[in-house]
Amino acid sequence: DIQLTQSPSFLSASVGDRVTITCRASQGINGYLAWFQQKPGKAPKLLIYTASTLQSGVPSRFSGSGSGTEFTLTISSLQPEDFATYYCQQLNAFPLTFGGGTKVEIK
């Protein structure tokens, strides 16, 4: 199985900060990576797919990059509504797997 390791697991930041979350895969995943945002009590929402494609309706302050085994999600200027937990997911092979999550909280 492909393991995904997210770092950090917890992040404290201020409005306006640039935030970067990393997702490392235990083997190459051919860029088949998605990023989700989950707010408390809500279902996860797709932000990014194929590592760097912004899902329709997602603000442009979100971006994804990476290849091989290392991927990043960047929020260029953190907004109040961005405080949430973020997950990566690989779709290179079954079983599909998620990273452990990164909780972004207000400093």
Partner 1 sequence: EVQVVESGGGLVQPGGSLTLSCAASGFTFRDYWMSWVRQAPGKGLEWLASIKPDGSGETYGDSVKGRFTIFRDNAKNSLYLQMNSLRVEDTALYYCAPSIVKTAARHYLDNWGQGSLVTVSS
Q: Does 7 bind partner 1 (CB under 8 A)?
A: no
Going by C-alpha positions, the residue among 7, 14, 16, 10 that lies closest to residue 106 is 14
Is the peptide bond prior to 8 cis by the omega test (within 30 degrees of 0)? yes
| Alpha-carbon span 34 to 64, nearest angstrom | 9
For residue 48, the number of C-alpha atoms closer than 13 Å in the C-beta half-sphere is 27
Least CB distance to partner 1 at residue 70 (A): 19
Backbone phi, psi, residue 25, to 5°:
-100, 150
Q: Which of residues 80-99 bind partner 1 (CB under 8 A)?
A: 87, 89, 91, 94-99
| Residue of 26, 100, 104, 105 that binds partner 1 (CB under 8 A) | 100
Least CB distance to partner 1 at residue 80 (A): 23
Least CB distance to partner 1 at residue 41 (A): 9
Backbone phi, psi, residue 35, to 5°:
-120, 135
Q: Which of residues 19-48 bind partner 1 (CB under 8 A)?
A: 32, 34, 36, 38, 42-46
Judged by the rule CB under 8 A, the positions of this chain that interact with partner 1 are 1, 32, 34, 36, 38, 42-46, 49-50, 53, 55, 87, 89, 91, 94-101
